[in-house]
Structure 1
Amino acid sequence: MTVSTLSLSAGLAFSDRIEALLDGRVDVDGATLAISCRQPQALFRSVLRDQTFDVCEFSLGSHIAAVAAGNGAYVGLPIFVSRAFRHGNVYVRTDRGIASPQDLAGRRIGVIDFHQTAALWVRGILADGYGVERSSIEWITGGLSTPVLEDRATLDLPPSISVRRSTQTLNALLEEGAIDGVISPTAPALFTRGDPRVARLWPDHRAAERAWFGDTGIFPIMHLLVLRRRCVETAPRLAKALFDAFDRARQLASSDLTDRDYPKIASPWLMADRTRTLAELGGDPWSYGVPANRAALEAILRYAEADGLTKHRLAPEALFADLAGADDLPPSSGPQ
């Protein structure tokens, strides 16, 4: 039987982890990907509202909430194309007496979206490590530099957690002093221009992140890939084929940093920084798949339950398509 090649649209944020798929060094078995590189926030809203792409990079926090709410248009793949430590993404007003994480209790803190994965991790870190409960903070949501008037998805949170969307930007609120701080992967404008009114909560954030990793062994997952559910249903091998291709592209990205005789990126100390990072984190910090990432997934699912994004604790396997046993299924001609 001849199996047709699937043509799939893919929305991804550019990174070295997908470069080999863009330049043709890696193909997806049985499928071709038409890749469009977009900014993450645009990709996330396209999944939740427009369902633009067959394969799409997506916020892990929003995916957890979508699974809990029974939104089944997409299924997750344990392909974690974005990870980042987040201690360095907490910015506070320096005139509010905030000298430690515990001082955030009773404050008004801005986040781009309550589903945002970076904020989900930070809320868990604050609760676990410093006793700062979610309910002790008033959460103000809004676009960082451009107004965003709607949540990514409907929130159904416990009454103890206060979330209010602002028509103003978080940058404006921070500058006016209407909020005490911001959790944001992109630094607020006051910080980037060196205004002394704003500083990082953890000034030596790398040391704080290294210590947290030493305590937990977790390199936080930010984004995963999701695949349109009907593609999984009609082409059962597709999820595994995508996993294999993206994992191969990830391995090539790692090789590119060490095997070339010239720097892959514009960093004069790239090799020294990479050697130091691998020594600090050990093993392969960018690994894909559930088994290698169970501790991180269990932690963020615990945080999501505490945040009210899920009504009960989800198991990691509930987030993803089943990759096991796909090779034992009969051939599929793919989506029609």
Structure 2
Amino acid sequence: MEKALTIAMSESDRTQKIMSGQEKLPSFKLEPQQATVEEIFVKQISEAAYDVAELSLSSYLIALGRGERRLTAIPVFLSRSFRHNAIYVRADSPWTHPSELKGRRFGFPEYQMTAAVWVRGFFRHEWGVAGEDMTWFTYRDERVPIPTPAHRGSGDDIFEALLQGEVDAIMTARRPPSAYFPASGEGGRIRRLIPDVWGAEREYYRRTGIFPIMHLVSLKEETVQEHPKLPLQLYKQMLQRKDEGIAQLLETIKNQTSAPWVWESAEQSAKLMNGDMWPYGMKANWSQIELFMSYLQEDGLLDRGLTPEQIFHPSVLHT
């Protein structure tokens, strides 16, 4: 008899077959749950609500450090992003480099969100701006209740906070509304801080080899105890789907997206990243996770580094 598994993830070429119901996992009946990624994170980290769920890397690690034992994970990284492009200022701002923001007011949706941890790490180690050199603001509640040095913004609209002058710059994973920031990225009331941001991101990758991890795949420990082969089985299947998604992205008989030059971008990415533009597994990613944990410790969000055995299920440690 098949075991029913609730599964909650954002849709992408890495998850679409699972979330649409096309994907079958032998011995299990997958039951996709529809929710925004923010809703998934809150429910999984607070309730362990799903058998399998996409989860914020930072919130997962913070929760583990605070004694969370209801979840485990596999090294399937459903979201990765360079967040240089996610830093915005008003269009009339004089600043064009993060180092110029020293002493300014900076807004995040949430202090603990993975993208915010990466950006604060960039400020310290890439741009020479210490945490105490900035005044931080946030615009939603922390999903793992933690003390932070951030001030709570006057509302919950981070874009209006920027436009009204409550903060001088913001980082937001979600693109600003088109009324403020047109599709071309030019001519709006908000602009990206760094003028050649795509070049800056490529330079960062060339120098560091880091394509920042944002989200991983968590599993309910209770479910895994009942089905110990599930984590590795799921890892292998999701790795295969990811590789298929990249192959389809490169296939020129039809464009998988609505971006006209997606093949050029994909080929450039494959060249720069030595063919593996979206790595899963422990071996390719552990050094980056260690670096990220050091950023969490610098932020005061994690007391000490965690071991692979504490973070991931034993069956996937060899990947």
TM-score by length of 1: 0.86
d(CA) in 2 for partners of 1:124, 1:24: 39
d(CA) in 2 for partners of 1:139, 1:306: 15
- How many angstroms does 1:37 deviate by? 3.8
1:19–1:249: 8 Å Cα contact kept in structure 2? no
2:75–2:282: 8 Å Cα contact kept in structure 1? yes
Residue 167 of structure 2 corresponds to: 179
d(CA) in 2 for partners of 1:25, 1:6: 17
Q: Does 1:188 align with 2:176?
A: yes
d(CA) in 1 for partners of 2:169, 2:176: 10
d(CA) in 2 for partners of 1:316, 1:199: 39
d(CA) in 2 for partners of 1:23, 1:47: 20
- How many angstroms does 1:295 deviate by? 2.5
Residue 334 of structure 1 corresponds to: none
Residue 151 of structure 2 corresponds to: 164
d(CA) in 2 for partners of 1:17, 1:131: 36
- The 1:296–1:37 alpha-carbon spacing in structure 2 relative to 1, beyond 3 Å, is farther
- How many angstroms does 1:24 deviate by? 6.0
Residue 110 of structure 2 corresponds to: 113
Amino acid aligned to 2:181: T
Moved more, 262-271 or 103-112: 262-271
1:84–1:222: 8 Å Cα contact kept in structure 2? yes
Question: Following superposition of structure 1 onto structure 2, how do residues 116-135 of structure 1 map, counting pairs within 5 Å?
Answer: 116-135=113-132
- The two structures, once aligned, show a CA RMSD in angstroms of 2.2
Residue 285 of structure 2 corresponds to: 293
- How many angstroms does 1:195 deviate by? 6.2
Identity of aligned residues (%): 29
Residue 59 of structure 1 corresponds to: 56
1:263 to 247, 255, 261: 255
2:250–2:267: 8 Å Cα contact kept in structure 1? no
May I ask how many residue pairs the two structures share in their alignment?
Answer: 313
- How many angstroms does 1:50 deviate by? 3.8
Flag structure 2 segments of 5+ consecutive residues without an equivalent: none
2:136–2:151: 8 Å Cα contact kept in structure 1? yes
* Higher RCO (CA 8 Å, separation ≥ 6 residues): 1
Amino acid aligned to 1:67: L
- How many angstroms does 1:17 deviate by? 0.3
Could you say what secondary structure the match of 2:121 adopts? helix
- The 1:51–1:24 alpha-carbon spacing in structure 2 relative to 1, beyond 3 Å, is closer
TM-score by length of 2: 0.91
Amino acid aligned to 2:170: V
Question: Following superposition of structure 1 onto structure 2, how do residues 158-307 of structure 1 map, counting pairs within 5 Å?
Answer: 162-168=149-155, 169-189=157-177, 191-193=180-182, 197-259=189-251, 261-307=253-299
Amino acid aligned to 2:88: Y
In the TM superposition, what whole-angstrom CA distance separates every residue of 1:151-191 from its partner, at most 9, and x where no partner exists? Answer: 2121145xxxx212224121221111011111001233464
1:7–1:33: 8 Å Cα contact kept in structure 2? yes
Amino acid aligned to 2:151: R
1:36 to 33, 37, 42: 33
d(CA) in 1 for partners of 2:242, 2:214: 16
The structure 1 segments of at least 4 consecutive aligned residues displaced by more than 6 Å after TM superposition are none
- How many angstroms does 1:317 deviate by? 4.2
- The 1:196–1:31 alpha-carbon spacing in structure 2 relative to 1, beyond 3 Å, is closer
- The 1:228–1:96 alpha-carbon spacing in structure 2 relative to 1, beyond 3 Å, is same
1:152 to 120, 139, 143: 143
- The 1:123–1:317 alpha-carbon spacing in structure 2 relative to 1, beyond 3 Å, is farther
Moved more, 195-204 or 69-78: 195-204
Residue 332 of structure 1 corresponds to: none
1:26–1:248: 8 Å Cα contact kept in structure 2? no
In the TM superposition, what whole-angstrom CA distance separates every residue of 1:47-93 from its partner, at most 9, and x where no partner exists? Answer: 12343311111111111111111122211221101111110000123
d(CA) in 1 for partners of 2:271, 2:134: 36
2:9–2:19: 8 Å Cα contact kept in structure 1? no
Q: Does 1:48 align with 2:45?
A: yes
